[in-house]
């Protein structure tokens, strides 16, 4: 992954849209079903749990949307993935929390995983794992919780340790509740809501995960995930219902859509899986497509300087679905635009020239810096 230039999404996904279309909106029900045995979860200190199992507290909105991406797995299988796909995977959380994470992380490779959950799609609480420097926070620290420094910034509560960053905005669960769930195992949602525990238990090893859950112990939910491997990538569509007879509908629907899908039903839970070669996998952000907030323009570029010719060449590598064009400029007065993947642009410089070159992805509603390069000749 090119950590200085990646913040991109691609719009396609092998089989993803067809399998997931309509499932999030079709799941409903009122009857209570056995939530299952969660004694082992109650005794866990959290180290053997997925981020959703560990950090999501019972408190907060009854309608929960969640997203997870394991960047360590992406790096592990980077050689098996297409270059444009690697470039398309965001390494930081969306929204304002990305700026804070960038501040405490020593470069994007320090981020190992991003987990988001809340009532507004990609908005809500953020838990980021990796390597961080709590001492780099440029705000007055209000208090401390264990190994975490806790502070408030513009109405957002933030806790940061050397391994984890937790962000709690006003529309999410309370920061104290998240820390209690993650650090002490207190009032986790998997312990209070049996059907949510069934959902998260089956998607713990996913590389990418999107889903939602609504209700309490007998609630309904859906999750869509990809798990990367050296040779194949496995896609799973999972649904948990309040009524066991709804799984028959799930099985029929999934079986009709693909010849190569395997469907399993266990009580109120249905799971459909299929595999594709890892080299055919394409990243797709389901939350961005649901329109929870305007998608941030994202693109991938490569920047190649040549000191002998005193030139810098920018190549348009990949683009997100919301990008209209790339705008390139530098402090020497050069400007250019690119609109198609594969285009290149070269700036020439005089001896002694120095400054910073900036690449900006521009969409219909917003724009974002996707790469910078400091030149000196």
Of 114, 149, 110, 146, give the one whose Cα is nearest residue 131. 110
Of 30-39, 221-230, 247-256, which one has max mean pLDDT? 221-230
Which pLDDT band, with edges at 50, 70 and 90, does 138 fall under? low
The string of pLDDT tens digits covering residues 334-364 is: 999 999 888 999 999 999 999 999 999 998 7
The string of pLDDT tens digits covering residues 284-295 is: 777 654 544 445
Query: How many of the other CB atoms lie within 10 Å of CB of 350?
Result: 8
Per-domain residue ranges of the chain: 51-292, 299-376
**Per-residue model confidence (pLDDT) at position 368:** 83
**Per-residue model confidence (pLDDT) at position 118:** 83
Q: How many residues belong to the chain?
A: 377
With 50 as the cut, is the pLDDT of residue 44 above it? no
Q: CA angle 65-71-73, nearest 5°?
A: 110
Query: How many of the other CB atoms lie within 10 Å of CB of 5?
Result: 22
DSSP-assigned letters across all residues of 206-224: -SEEEEEEESSTT-EEEEE
Query: How many helices and strands (H and E) does the chain possess?
Result: 12, 19
**Per-residue model confidence (pLDDT) at position 108:** 60
- Name the more confident of 246 and 213: 213
**Per-residue model confidence (pLDDT) at position 45:** 55
d(CA 119, CA 349): 50
Compute CA distances 60 → 100, 120, 219, 331, whole Å. 23, 12, 15, 47
**Per-residue model confidence (pLDDT) at position 364:** 73
**Per-residue model confidence (pLDDT) at position 71:** 93
d(CA 232, CA 340): 30
**Per-residue model confidence (pLDDT) at position 37:** 44
Region of 323 (left: φ > 0; alpha: ψ -120 to 50; beta: rest) is beta
With 70 as the cut, is the pLDDT of residue 18 above it? no
Token match 């649901």: residue?
290
The string of pLDDT tens digits covering residues 74-127 is: 999 999 999 888 888 888 887 767 778 888 886 666 899 999 888 754 457 899
Pairing label, strands 344-348, 208-214: unpaired
Residue pair 137/103 in contact by the 8 Å Cβ criterion: yes
Pairing label, strands 164-168, 208-214: unpaired
DSSP tag of 109: G
Question: Where does 299-376 sit in CATH, by number?
Answer: 2.60.40.10
d(CA 89, CA 9): 6
């Amino acid at each position: 992954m090119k950590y200085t230039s990646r913040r991109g999404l691609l719009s396609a996904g092998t089989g993803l849209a067809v399998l997931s279309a309509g499932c999030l909106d079709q799941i409903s029900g009122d009857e209570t079903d056995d939530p299952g045995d969660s004694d082992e979860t109650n005794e866990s200190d959290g180290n053997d749990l997925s981020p959703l199992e560990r950090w999501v507290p019972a408190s907060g909105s009854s309608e929960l949307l969640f997203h997870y991406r394991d960047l360590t797995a992406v790096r592990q299988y980077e050689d098996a993935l297409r270059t444009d796909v690697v470039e398309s995977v965001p390494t930081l959380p969306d929204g304002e929390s990305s700026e804070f994470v960038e501040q405490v992380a020593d470069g994007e490779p320090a981020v190992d995983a991003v987990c988001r959950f809340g009532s507004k799609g990609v908005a809500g609480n953020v838990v980021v794992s990796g390597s961080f420097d709590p001492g780099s926070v440029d705000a007055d620290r209000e208090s401390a919780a264990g190994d975490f420094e806790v502070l408030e910034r513009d109405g957002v509560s933030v806790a940061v340790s050397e391994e984890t960053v937790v962000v709690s905005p006003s529309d999410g669960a309370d920061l104290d509740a998240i820390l209690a769930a993650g650090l002490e195992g207190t009032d986790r949602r998997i312990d209070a809501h049996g059907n949510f525990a069934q959902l998260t238990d089956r998607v713990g090893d996913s590389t990418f995960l999107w889903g939602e859950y609504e209700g309490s112990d007998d609630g309904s939910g859906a999750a869509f995930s990809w798990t990367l491997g050296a040779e194949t990538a496995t896609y799973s569509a999972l649904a948990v219902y309040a009524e066991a007879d709804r799984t028959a509908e799930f099985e029929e629907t999934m079986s009709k859509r693909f010849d190569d899908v395997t469907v399993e039903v266990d009580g109120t839970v249905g799971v459909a899986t299929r595999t594709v070669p890892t080299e055919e996998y394409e990243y797709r952000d389901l939350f961005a497509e649901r329109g929870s907030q305007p998608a941030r323009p994202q693109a991938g570029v490569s920047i190649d300087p040549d000191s002998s010719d005193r030139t810098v060449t920018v190549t348009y590598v990949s683009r997100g679905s919301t990008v209209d064009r790339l705008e390139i400029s530098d402090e020497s007065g050069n400007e250019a635009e690119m609109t198609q993947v594969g285009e290149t642009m070269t700036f020439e410089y005089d001896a002694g020239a120095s400054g910073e070159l900036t690449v900006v992805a521009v969409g219909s509603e917003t724009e974002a810096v996707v790469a910078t390069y400091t030149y000196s000749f």
